[in-house]
Each structure stands twice: as structure tokens, then as C-alpha cells.
Amino acid sequence: MNKQIFALSFGFAGLIWATQQAGAQQTALCGERDVVIDRLETRYGERRRSVGRGQGNRMVEIFASESTGTWTILATLPNGLTCLVASGEDFRHEADRPVKPGDPA
């Protein structure tokens, strides 16, 4: 159980770091939230899979499409500006499963 919590904490720490980097980049890909989400839905078939709040009251969302395999992480600032944090391919939804004793994950 502690290993699973550690793994989740490590993953969330990575997301927080990524949102900080998105805010620090001057050439970040940003736009109006509605426009960005519409493009993800129409061009890539992505829909929101999860959401959380990051540093600086940023909303962090993960969008993905099981049919195209694409995924995108967005960070929306309190002023409504939405920025691309990361994107990629080969998205797979995996059901929660218990961690086996001795599993380093």
C-alpha cells in the first residue's frame, strides 16, 4: 500500500513540475480554453479523463482518445489561459489493480 501511495505521489510530483515548466516557458502553446478543448475533441477525438488542481491554483487536466491513442496534459491558469504541458501517443486505459507484495512500483 505504501509503495502504491509513493508511486502515485511521484506521478503527481511530475505533473506539478510539468505545470511549473509550462508556466516558465515563454514560447508555451497557450490559448483560450474553449478553443483548445474544441481542437482536442474535433482533431484528435480526445476527451477529459481526469482533472486536479496544481500549484498556483492551476487546473491540470488529462485528455485522451482510446481510438486515436493520443493524449494531452493541459494547465489552465486562474485567468482562463490554457497551456499545453505535454502530449503524446499510445494512450492506454488500465484498470486499477492491487500492488503485489515485493513489487517495486
pLDDT digits (tens, 9 = 90+) for 50-83: 999 999 999 999 999 999 999 999 999 999 999 9
Rounded to an integer, the average pLDDT of 34-51 is: 96
| C-alpha cell of residue 98 | 492491487
The percentage of the chain sitting over the pLDDT mark of 70, rounded to a whole number, equals 73
Question: Which residue segment(s) compose the domain that 65 sits in?
Answer: 2-88
Q: Using CB atoms within 10 Å of the CB of residue 58, give its burial: 0 to 12 exposed, 13 to 18 middle, 19+ buried.
A: buried
CB–CB of 75/23 below 8 Å? yes
Task: Return phi, psi of residue 22, to 5°.
Answer: -65, -40
SS3 state at 11? helix
Residue 101 belongs to a domain: no
Rounded to an integer, the average pLDDT of 35-49 is: 96
User: What's the mean per-residue pLDDT of the chain?
Assistant: 81
Q: What contacts 12, CB < 8 A, 6 or more positions away? A: 52
Number of structural domains (the chain) is: 1
The percentage of the chain sitting over the pLDDT mark of 90, rounded to a whole number, equals 56
Residue 18 belongs to a domain: yes
Residue 69 belongs to a domain: yes
